[in-house]
Amino acid sequence: MNRLKDATSPYLLQHADNPVEWFEWGEAAFAEAARRDVPLLISVGYSACHWCHVMAHESFEDEGTAALMNERFVNVKVDREERPDVDAVYMAATQAMTGQGGWPMTVFATPEGHPFHTGTYFPRPQFQRLLAGVSNAWNGDREAVLEQGSKIVEALNGRTELPSGPLPTPDTLARAVQTLSRSFDRVRGGFGGAPKFPPSMALEFLLRYGAAGEPRAGAEGGGREDRPEPGAGAGAPTATAMAGRTLEAMARGGIYDQLGGGFARYSVDADWVVPHFEKMLYDNALLLRVYAHWWRLTGSVLGRRVALETADWLLAEMRTPEGGFASALDADSEGVEGKFYAWTPEEIHEVLGAEDGAWAVALYEVTGTFEHGTSVLQLLSDPAPGDAERSARVRAELLAARARRVRPGRDDKVVAAWNGLAIAALAETGALFDRPDLVEAARAAATLLDESHMDGDRLMRTSRDGRVGANAGVLEDYADLAEGLLTLYGVTGEVRWFHRAGALLETVLGRFADGSGGFFDTADDAERLFQRPQDPTDNATPSGQFAAAGALLSYAALTGSARHREAAEAALGTVTVLADKHARFAGWGLAVAQAAVSGPVEAAIVGPLDDPATSALHRTALLSPAPGLVVALGEPGSAEVPLLEGRGLLDGAPAAYVCRGFTCGMPVTTPAGLRAELAP
């Protein structure tokens, strides 16, 4: 076992028995490189990364390669999910030097940490030649190597940040929809070609834009269902149709686990058929919320089913004993990518018998997508209504048979930011579909983070098995958790979550602000890297800056705080610049901007929490698709949340107050009256 044996990261522990003498990121590695006068070899990846496993098996488990690494370098293994700041600065260098990025990321750096040569995955023969070449250059042409490192650092630090514009306007948002439509795949959904990633944040924007726009265009993807209190939705056809087509295509394709629920990281093809099989918490939290919002706006039966199946999958497979949610499921099992999920027709017949087997093979498109005749399951059309019982039975039998296979590995560390996304999604989904178990799961995760991840007013990024890691939270941790806690407060009325969110946002404003309206990704007292990372654009998750803007905007709506509102608006200035050309990378910012343009609407629900009339008003508010709607719930006389201050019962009955900018209309006491007040 090497030095990684005591790590908390499952990814680092995967490398603890390598013959490579790995260091964790830290001063010890830098000091050892300086003492030996050798370069650092920094290898960055994460536990569910397929090509990280391939490079590990080919090179890091190979005695000869390891000997070369140990002799000529100080080797540092980094979990990008634990240290997104380290990943960000070296990824910027890798993209600048090679024109592309990805994981595993391989960086050669000076003992001071300045990168001078970078790359991603290298097959073993090429990697061995690279090791020799870099070492020879270090020993034979040191001046040129150091100059290269200095130039890279100077260039990265000299980059001008993305310019910021004024607060987005309705015209800005309309142009963003047009920008998205130009790359929209009208046949297969999504944006652009292969590979296709779930565009969760852009879809959230499109649904909000639709909710604020034209009259409802009808339901996309699976028909409407009757529900007692349909939201007062409106949909600009282009926005709602783009979202609906994409959501349906993903839900019916191989990227979605048709048996167990949950989405894979991305599709390697343009048709959503062949997934890259790892399942990430952040993808599924974001998509869960989007599918629930799709149902809320359009009443899509498919949206409801996928939202509930994804929520059930989160609870069944991703919860940790401490109440948090694990980071990821691996793509591989038994050393083969996707083996757990793929089927041959013969395997299905063996489980179901001849008649049901033939029916299931046709239903799930088991046509031999992969080598060896295996297929990932799709559901391109729903079974006939008369086959509903058969479909449920077949699915249950296949799922039970699959459970006997060797399962993919699970990265069970709890990441604050991604748990914040899960808290928001589960709380809302539980409220929308009357699933108190989902709300309770959100509450349990919030409790874990509140009681275990907080160190005074500072948030720690990760924990595992109840043991909190040593890495400080970055901007997305504070912002996404604040978003989740504000959502949980709106669902439960429990003010502890409102107060904790406010404290987190105070740290955001005090420690992360860049002085010009934006935010750095790390706090002002974080470890100094060769560059202080700051990226306002979305990637696989909302950018920290846009997530902060959303949480600040919601908090301002609940409190009337001009300071928080102004900070949110300043952080959204980048959206105006991105909307015309790069809207796909500003989806969350656009969604927040739509909320800002629309108000956001504020609903204060006042009444005894155990009164059915209060509950009816509360549910009506939560069912409204008004963009960025914030809900405050409290007993008469509540004063801890400013939006509730001075709001009382109306003639002794629970009442709802609908406000915009803390200017409120007349209170109403019926769901119908509240729906009218919430209408665009």
Cα–Cα separations (whole angstroms), residue 624 to 223, 379, 603, 666, 680: 19, 30, 10, 18, 10
Say if strands 601-606 and 630-634 run parallel, antiparallel, or are unpaired.
Answer: parallel
Burial tier of 464 (Cβ tally within 10 Å: 0-12, 13-18, 19+): buried
- For residue 548, give the amino acid letter: A
- What pLDDT, on the 0 to 100 scale, is given for residue 637? 85
Whether 188 and 326 map to the same domain: the answer is yes
In whole angstroms, give the CA distance from residue 319 to residue 317: 6
Whether 537 and 610 map to the same domain: the answer is no
Whether the CA torsion 299, 300, 301, 306 is positive or negative: it is: negative
Evaluate whether residue 460 is within a structural domain. Answer: yes
Evaluate whether residue 165 is within a structural domain. Answer: no
The answer to whether residues 484 and 478 touch, using CB atoms and an 8 Å cutoff, is: no
Evaluate whether residue 164 is within a structural domain. Answer: no
Whether 34 and 116 map to the same domain: the answer is yes
Residue the block writes with tokens 């509140």? 450
The CATH number of whichever domain residue 113 belongs to comes to: 3.40.30.10
Q: What does pTM read for this prediction?
A: 0.93
Residue 74 pairs in a beta bridge with 40
| Terminal Cα distance for the chain, rounded | 62
Task: Output the six-digit token pair for 603.
Answer: 């609903």
- What pLDDT, on the 0 to 100 scale, is given for residue 161? 64
**Cis (ω within 30 of 0) for the bond into 533?**
no
Give the range of the structural domain holding residue 392, as residue numbers without chain letter: 341-402
In DSSP notation, 579-607 reads TTT-GGG-HHHHHHHHHHHH--EEEEEES
The closest of 157, 66, 75 to 109, measured between CA atoms, is 75
- For residue 240, give the amino acid letter: T
In whole angstroms, give the CA distance from residue 335 to residue 341: 13
- For residue 203, give the amino acid letter: L
- What pLDDT, on the 0 to 100 scale, is given for residue 158? 76
Which of these three, 357, 385, 402, is where a domain ends?
Answer: 402
Evaluate whether residue 274 is within a structural domain. Answer: yes
Whether 477 and 536 map to the same domain: the answer is yes
The answer to whether residues 203 and 588 touch, using CB atoms and an 8 Å cutoff, is: no
Evaluate whether residue 235 is within a structural domain. Answer: yes
The CATH number of whichever domain residue 654 belongs to comes to: 3.40.30
Whether 653 and 560 map to the same domain: the answer is no
The answer to whether residues 610 and 581 touch, using CB atoms and an 8 Å cutoff, is: no
Cα angle 302-332-327, degrees, rounded to a multiple of 5 = 65
Whether 592 and 606 map to the same domain: the answer is no
Whether 103 and 208 map to the same domain: the answer is no
- What pLDDT, on the 0 to 100 scale, is given for residue 160? 61
Which of these three, 568, 583, 598, is where a domain ends?
Answer: 598
Whether 210 and 257 map to the same domain: the answer is yes
Buried b vs exposed e over 138-153: b needs ≥16 C-beta within 10 Å? beeeeeebeebbeebb
Task: Output the six-digit token pair for 266.
Answer: 């991305």
Q: Provide block-wise average pLDDT over 10 residues at a time, the chain (680 residues).
A: 90 96 96 97 94 94 96 97 96 91 95 94 95 95 90 81 82 93 92 94 97 53 37 54 97 97 96 94 98 97 98 98 97 90 95 96 89 90 92 96 96 97 98 98 98 94 93 97 98 97 98 94 94 92 97 97 96 92 94 94 96 97 95 92 94 95 91 93
The Cβ of residue 593 has, within 10 Å, a number of other Cβ atoms equal to 34
Whether 415 and 274 map to the same domain: the answer is yes
- In the structure, how many helices (H) and strands (E) does the chain have? 25, 20
- What pLDDT, on the 0 to 100 scale, is given for residue 231? 32
Evaluate whether residue 272 is within a structural domain. Answer: yes
Q: What share of the chain is helix, strand, coil (3-state, %, to 5)?
A: 50, 15, 35
- Max CA distance (Å), the chain: 87
Burial tier of 102 (Cβ tally within 10 Å: 0-12, 13-18, 19+): middle
The CATH number of whichever domain residue 533 belongs to comes to: 1.50.10.10
Whether 89 and 150 map to the same domain: the answer is yes
Phi-psi region of 301 (alpha: psi -120 to 50; beta: other; left: phi over 0): alpha
Q: How many domains does the chain have?
A: 4
Map residue 423 onto helix, strand or coil: helix
Task: Output the six-digit token pair for 344.
Answer: 């041959």
Which of these three, 598, 632, 651, is where a domain ends?
Answer: 598
Whether 451 and 389 map to the same domain: the answer is no
Evaluate whether residue 674 is within a structural domain. Answer: yes
Phi-psi region of 637 (alpha: psi -120 to 50; beta: other; left: phi over 0): left
Evaluate whether residue 635 is within a structural domain. Answer: yes
Whether 273 and 325 map to the same domain: the answer is yes
The closest of 610, 634, 605, 599 to 620, measured between CA atoms, is 605
